[in-house]
Structure 1
């Protein structure tokens, strides 16, 4: 197939995948093949399923089945954040509205103080609502403080109650299902090759839990489609000539609004670099940010290097994971393979 059909270059000189990704030789793009080999050898010793390195809109290197649709886990939160940004720009969602105004409650009941939390508080994981929530990892359960111990807006906590309740609020305000809206407003405009949400296959669903009325909204997505999502954020919400996600939302959602300690910072359901911190054993370039999911799902965007790195793990195999220490080491090896001119 003619490369002009497969991929395209914008008038501004930016390169984009159209029907498929185009690859370039690592050495030609300023990478060391020997250095990448070191990274791949380490990846072979852990549970890495796929890695995809995109620089300047082209694939520098990859390994694994890039079309396989792995579970995204908490990467879903960055998808919802992008959708909220689209509707906030359109005036459908007002971040200042409180849970009391929206009529949001839960099984154990929310106090008047808890209902004073705003959509913005939930978006930044600062609601102060420590009600039981579904789809939580053991780590998330272990860090949850005592109920009613913090007022809204004052205390950051990576809290699935906030993220799941945002899904309920999103559907109530927009009238749209999260996965349907993602297909229409993001997957199709970006030309995602593998994501489907139709009568034959649904790469997203709602996960109910008896502890809360607010379900989780898991996704499955291929590595190459997740890289398109990362490239859109790298390009300030643009895909070719279309502004898919508002540029101001992209910029503000990846600010390090909260200090997440050794995990870096946190914005609007995105993890951010903070003073180089983000993953153990590696210094992240300033301005980096990532969508992360349990088990080792990572979509890392490094604007200063014009770089997107996607890492996936097949958590459908019970007990399979790449922990933060192993991913940090792999990431350090990848970044060291990029030659410094």
Structure 2
């Protein structure tokens, strides 16, 4: 296929490969540009990072893996993009109206929300722009330059705030009648034949007494995270099933908050934020990034979805369960070596350049 082909339409062929109970390996990695030289560069790059596993998927098969991709561990904020995926079906079925406000839903806190805060909608929360600056019930927010309570109009100002994300989980459960974890099991884990998913491992976590709304935390393996990424790359399709509405995949990955409106400047490769997904920069000379989205979690938990190339990349920096729990209840505050967004994207660039050169 020539480089001038419409990249945005790749990855939508209904005859494409999906993994069954186990992933298949790519038969000929060289067809995707993965030479011995590129493999050696990637190996060296990952060895220099605290990465514990890395997965590259091309055409629905594993192109490259590093470490133990079956190891199950804490996803941190990658959970937020998973909730976005889950919401698509409920929105399409009319169970969730994104224009519902906190007042409509009866969302409140022990010491009360301000009247202006109660006007925030679910859509505002999805783009982390609720204008609610109540203390969140779990770590992971931007703790710098937090606006004063009531100082921002809901929907008008981006501040990465776990209060928004945790309340979205509570609203999902209230409106659908299913827990986030049960919905994940029924809508994703079972139809996608996830190899390592354990319902008992998933849990709510957070601080005591900070907020009524705690965080819904997932514990998944790298190869199961790659299944989620593949569903996004394939417009929400999994084999013959539409596990996420195609319209929602498109809507949830459009830039809603541009980079110049975000106070997250450290993510220099990011063009904006959508419905709980980070959206990478796309330039005229990089059409392969068109339609891409990233799920990002603390310590180095990443999923990059590249629909234009039908590729998925997953990085894990495994965190033991006891440490994840301690971090979320506030008893452990020490920072561990982490893989940054830039570190992760620098590794994926090796594969992307090789893939484009092989076309």
TM-score > 0.5 by shorter chain: yes
The whole-number CA distance in structure 1 between the counterparts of 2:174 and 2:44 is 48
**Compared CA separation, residues 334 and 12, structure 1 to 2 (3 A):** closer
Residue equivalent to 1:109: 112
Aligned residues of 1:124 and 1:269 also touching (Cα < 8 A): yes
How far off is 1:330 after superposition? 2.1
Aligned residues of 2:281 and 2:289 also touching (Cα < 8 A): no
Aligned residues of 2:139 and 2:206 also touching (Cα < 8 A): no
Aligned residues of 1:108 and 1:131 also touching (Cα < 8 A): no
Structure with the greater relative contact order (CA < 8 A, sep ≥ 6): 1 or 2?
2
Residue equivalent to 2:276: 269
Residue equivalent to 1:218: 217
The whole-number CA distance in structure 2 between the counterparts of 1:220 and 1:71 is 5
The whole-number CA distance in structure 2 between the counterparts of 1:159 and 1:260 is 16
The TM-score normalised by the length of structure 1 is 0.89
Alignment root-mean-square deviation, CA: 2.0
Deviation string, structure 1 residues 293-315 (Cα, Å, up to 9, x no partner): 01111000111111101111013
Unaligned ranges ≥5, structure 1: 1-9, 277-281
Residue equivalent to 1:242: 241
Unaligned ranges ≥5, structure 2: 1-11, 261-267, 324-334
Aligned residues of 2:32 and 2:354 also touching (Cα < 8 A): no
Matches within 5 A, 1:155-234: 155-197=157-199, 202-209=200-207, 210-234=209-233
Matches within 5 A, 1:309-328: 309-316=313-320, 319-328=336-345
How far off is 1:283 after superposition? 10
Residue equivalent to 2:308: 304
The whole-number CA distance in structure 2 between the counterparts of 1:260 and 1:191 is 36
1:232 alignment partner, SS class: helix
**Compared CA separation, residues 92 and 304, structure 1 to 2 (3 A):** same
2:143 alignment partner, SS class: helix
Q: Is 1:27 matched with 2:25? A: no
The whole-number CA distance in structure 2 between the counterparts of 1:36 and 1:155 is 43
Deviation string, structure 1 residues 88-110 (Cα, Å, up to 9, x no partner): 11111111111111110113311
How far off is 1:265 after superposition? 1.0
How far off is 1:11 after superposition? 8.6
**Compared CA separation, residues 153 and 12, structure 1 to 2 (3 A):** closer
Deviation string, structure 1 residues 231-281 (Cα, Å, up to 9, x no partner): 0011111110011111101111011111135332111111111345xxxxx
The TM-score normalised by the length of structure 2 is 0.85
How far off is 1:59 after superposition? 0.9
1:15 alignment partner, SS class: coil
The whole-number CA distance in structure 1 between the counterparts of 2:206 and 2:41 is 43
The whole-number CA distance in structure 1 between the counterparts of 2:232 and 2:341 is 23
The whole-number CA distance in structure 1 between the counterparts of 2:14 and 2:172 is 35
How far off is 1:170 after superposition? 1.1
Deviation string, structure 1 residues 88-134 (Cα, Å, up to 9, x no partner): 11111111111111110113311111101111111121111111102
Q: Which moved more, 1:286-295 or 1:28-37?
A: 28-37
Aligned residues of 1:86 and 1:246 also touching (Cα < 8 A): yes
Deviation string, structure 1 residues 126-168 (Cα, Å, up to 9, x no partner): 111111102223x611243222221111112221110001111
The whole-number CA distance in structure 2 between the counterparts of 1:30 and 1:328 is 17
2:308 alignment partner, SS class: helix
The whole-number CA distance in structure 2 between the counterparts of 1:304 and 1:40 is 25
Aligned length: 322
